[in-house]
């Protein structure tokens, strides 16, 4: 009897451990999302500060003669808000704007430390080469410094005549091949009470799921592991479409779609694009399948938009 109780206790502990780990994973994902969002906001703010400084000094051509204005304002800003707005840093923000006059060219993969490392590079091709290197290889600022120190650009056997900063791919138009609503047939007594149940349901109905989603889909894996900063994250279902030439990250949620669900899948999409996607692949697309009452809603996440499609659960008689 004691052995039976010990086994039960062991099983219960494993279950509790697994449930606790689910919340820990969600919390760690949320932390990373906040870091990415905060970084993008910081870069945009610094860029706008630089833009306004240039405008206040009479434009780009005259800005270099207006250092007295920056010095005067830096004293006031530093007293109020700290060293981030010192004379040196305001000069850097101005240089940031002058170097990257289009804010969309400043990709979210770059941090302010990346930017400061790249700003002293005067040659445009060379500078753009290192920006692209950060994006393609997901380089840390330390990795970037090492690449520059090792003369990575200078050692290229054949340098392109013109290097442009990588820009997002044009949107893929694929909705015309999809059906709406998509019918998922379940056994009469089958209920979906957890995200695991939802995953099993989708996996069991993959052939139907694929045929109604469109042509060219293939399953890569479920609970696909991807590592970021020495931490593992698990994508519920990973698909690839050979016709659209891109990965599809699928996340499964119970309840209505929330803002953090979109942020989470965008984080996974970014990891796929940075670590797994080849240069010849199109950008990853996200699908959030959420169960709302007796319907499954497939929310397609592309760029900044969400495109909802409805899956109706049809019970077998």
d(CA 208, CA 206): 5
- pLDDT score of 64 more than 80: no
In the chain, the number of structural domains is 3
d(CA 62, CA 85): 21
Picking from 167, 190, 214, the residue at the C-terminal end of a domain is 167
Both 182 and 267 in one domain: the answer is yes
In DSSP terms, which residues pair with 312 in a beta bridge?
Answer: 183, 295
Domain that residue 2 falls in? 1-106
| Helical packing angle, 87-99 and 67-81, nearest 10° | 120
Both 100 and 2 in one domain: the answer is yes
Beta strand 217-228 with 231-241 is: antiparallel
Q: What is the tens place of the pLDDT at every residue in 154-178?
A: 988 888 889 888 765 444 445 544 5
Q: What is the DSSP letter of 183?
A: E
Both 140 and 198 in one domain: the answer is no
Average the pLDDT over 299-310 and give the result: 56
CA distances from 85 to 3, 52, 110, 173 (A): 66, 14, 20, 44
- pLDDT score of 299 more than 60: yes
- pLDDT score of 52 more than 50: yes
Of the CA atoms within 13 Å of residue 193, those in its CB half-sphere come to: 3
| Per-residue burial over 17-27, b = 16 or more CB atoms within 10 Å of its CB, e = otherwise | eeeeeeeeeee
Both 198 and 133 in one domain: the answer is no
**For position 253, which CATH number holds?**
3.40.1350
Both 218 and 161 in one domain: the answer is no
Residue 191, helix vs strand vs coil: coil
Both 25 and 154 in one domain: the answer is no
Both 239 and 134 in one domain: the answer is no
Spatial contact of 232 and 225, defined as CB atoms under 8 Å apart? yes
Of the CA atoms within 13 Å of residue 279, those in its CB half-sphere come to: 7
Both 220 and 298 in one domain: the answer is yes
Both 151 and 75 in one domain: the answer is no
Both 209 and 302 in one domain: the answer is yes
Both 256 and 275 in one domain: the answer is yes
Statement: the pTM of the whole predicted model exceeds 0.75: no
Both 99 and 113 in one domain: the answer is no
């Amino acid at each position: 009897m004691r052995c039976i109780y010990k086994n039960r206790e062991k099983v219960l502990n494993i279950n509790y451990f697994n449930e606790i780990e689910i919340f820990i994973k969600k919390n760690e994902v949320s932390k990373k999302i906040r870091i990415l969002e905060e970084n993008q906001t910081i870069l945009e703010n610094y860029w706008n500060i630089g833009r306004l400084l240039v405008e206040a000094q009479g434009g780009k051509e005259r800005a270099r003669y207006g250092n007295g204005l920056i010095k005067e304002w830096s004293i006031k800003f530093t007293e109020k808000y700290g060293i981030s707005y010192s004379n040196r840093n305001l000069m850097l923000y101005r240089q940031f704007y002058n170097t990257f006059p289009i804010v969309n060219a400043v990709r979210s993969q770059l941090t302010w430390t990346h930017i400061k490392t790249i700003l002293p590079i005067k040659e445009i091709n060379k500078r753009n080469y290192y920006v692209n290197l950060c994006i393609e290889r997901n380089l840390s600022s330390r990795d970037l410094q090492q690449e520059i120190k090792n003369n990575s650009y200078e050692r290229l056997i054949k340098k392109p005549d013109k290097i442009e900063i990588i820009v997002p791919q044009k949107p893929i138009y694929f909705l015309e091949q999809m059906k709406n609503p998509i019918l998922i047939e379940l056994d009469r007594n089958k209920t979906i009470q957890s995200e695991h149940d939802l995953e099993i349901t989708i996996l069991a109905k993959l052939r139907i799921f694929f045929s109604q989603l469109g042509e060219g889909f293939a399953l890569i894996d479920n609970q696909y592991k991807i590592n970021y900063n020495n931490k593992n994250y698990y994508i519920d279902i990973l698909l690839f479409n050979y016709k659209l030439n891109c990965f599809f990250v699928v996340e499964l949620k119970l309840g209505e779609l929330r803002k953090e669900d979109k942020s989470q899948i965008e984080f996974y999409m970014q990891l796929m694009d940075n670590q797994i996607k080849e240069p010849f692949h199109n950008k990853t697309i996200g699908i959030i399948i959420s169960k709302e009452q007796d319907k499954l809603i497939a929310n397609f996440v592309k760029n900044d938009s969400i495109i909802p499609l409805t899956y109706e659960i049809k019970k077998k008689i």
